[in-house]
């Protein structure tokens, strides 16, 4: 890989990392489709492996930034993170058997469906289910009080783990809407907690791909390292910006990004 190509991947990672951390989705929802378009001849297995490595770097860097801000629900995140691990490993194993054209179509449909879900909900606030009480107070003194149905969230997380690892998009794009709409999380806590869960989940997917030898195919490892450098820096930027943006803007940015990428990917199928 040339120095120019590596530099471009670092810049791509920087932008993806900032946006991904801002909306709590880890950047994979943008990066994986972009990689599909930029590298049309690579296998889904190689591209999801590269994307997941970048998602892990992004979510870990973002989690550190959000932890400093005091916005992560760590107890809920540990439960959901553990629940995603079996699905994350399964998705990484199954993707190698899926033809490229089918994979592209599934990706487009999945992204479009989540965008519609967010827009239909339209910033009306999440559900207020019964469950374990939680109170999160960030470094600026802002307080959020809510209840978390842990068992239901763990069940959702198993499916999120599989879908995210299979598609190579990290899962935050699914997890943030679920945390807010179905589990009653405040949006700012959901984005931070999602990043924490993403770090655990994507890490499991990366290890699985590593053991399968996915990073030894072509330029997989070099691409993953270049992107990881960019997203790690971008994540710090996104976390800082998120403190200045309202919940509604964050949700609409997430939906808009999903819809645009889904449309572009659909036309490429």
pLDDT in tens, the chain (269 residues): 688 888 999 998 898 888 777 766 667 767 877 887 788 888 877 888 888 888 888 888 889 989 999 999 999 999 999 998 888 788 878 877 888 778 778 878 877 887 787 677 655 555 566 789 999 999 989 999 999 999 999 999 998 888 777 776 666 677 887 888 888 899 889 989 988 998 888 888 888 888 888 887 666 788 888 998 998 888 888 888 877 877 677 777 777 777 876 776 677 65
**Which of 202, 199, 197 shows the shortest CA–CA distance to 75?**
197
SS3 146: strand
Q: What's the confidence (pLDDT) of residue 218? A: 65
User: Phi/psi zone of residue 122: left (φ > 0), alpha (ψ -120 to 50 degrees), beta?
Assistant: left
Contact 201, 81 (CB under 8 A): yes
> What is the rounded CA–CA span in Å between residue 84 and residue 54?
18
Q: What is the pLDDT of residue 152?
A: 92
- Nearest C-alpha neighbor of 171 from the set 148, 203, 194: 194
According to the 3-state scheme, what is the secondary structure of 21-35? HHHCCCCHHHHHHHH
Full residue range of the structural domain in which residue 34 is found: 3-268
Position 52 scores a pLDDT of 82
Number of domains in the chain: 1
Quote the pLDDT of residue 220: 75
pLDDT for 73 equals 96
Please state whether 149 falls in left (phi above 0), alpha (psi between -120 and 50) or beta: beta
Question: Token pair for residue 63?
Answer: 């989690």
SS3 123: coil
* Residue for token pair 């450098």: 229
Q: Contact at 8 Å (CB) between 126 and 269?
A: no
Both structure tokens of 260: 């645009």
Task: Dump strand ranges (E) for the chain.
Answer: 132-137, 143-148
């Amino acid at each position: 890989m040339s120095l120019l190509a590596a530099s471009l991947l670092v810049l791509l990672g920087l932008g993806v990392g900032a946006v991904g951390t801002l909306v709590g989705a880890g950047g994979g929802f943008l990066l994986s489709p972009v990689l599909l378009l930029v590298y049309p001849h690579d296998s889904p297995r190689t591209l999801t492996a590269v994307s997941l490595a970048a998602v892990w770097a992004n979510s870990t860097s973002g989690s550190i930034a959000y932890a400093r801000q005091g916005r992560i629900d760590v107890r809920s995140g540990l439960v959901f993170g553990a629940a995603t691990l079996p699905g994350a490993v399964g998705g990484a194993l199954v993707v190698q058997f899926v033809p490229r054209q089918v994979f592209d179509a599934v990706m487009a449909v999945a992204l479009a469906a989540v965008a519609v879900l967010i827009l239909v909900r339209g910033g009306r606030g999440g559900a207020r289910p019964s469950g374990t009480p939680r109170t999160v107070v960030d470094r600026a003194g802002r307080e959020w009080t809510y209840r978390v149905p842990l068992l239901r969230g763990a069940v959702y997380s198993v499916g999120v783990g599989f879908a995210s690892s299979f598609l190579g998009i990290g899962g935050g794009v699914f997890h943030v809407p679920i945390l807010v709409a179905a589990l009653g999380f405040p949006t700012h806590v959901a984005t931070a907690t999602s990043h924490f869960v993403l770090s655990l989940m994507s890490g499991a997917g990366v290890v699985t791909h590593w053991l399968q030898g996915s990073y030894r195919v072509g330029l997989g490892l070099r691409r993953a390292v270049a992107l990881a450098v960019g997203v790690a820096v971008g994540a710090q930027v996104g976390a800082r910006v998120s403190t200045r943006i309202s919940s509604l803007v964050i949700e609409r940015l997430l939906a808009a990004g999903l819809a645009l990428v889904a449309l572009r990917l659909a036309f490429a199928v």
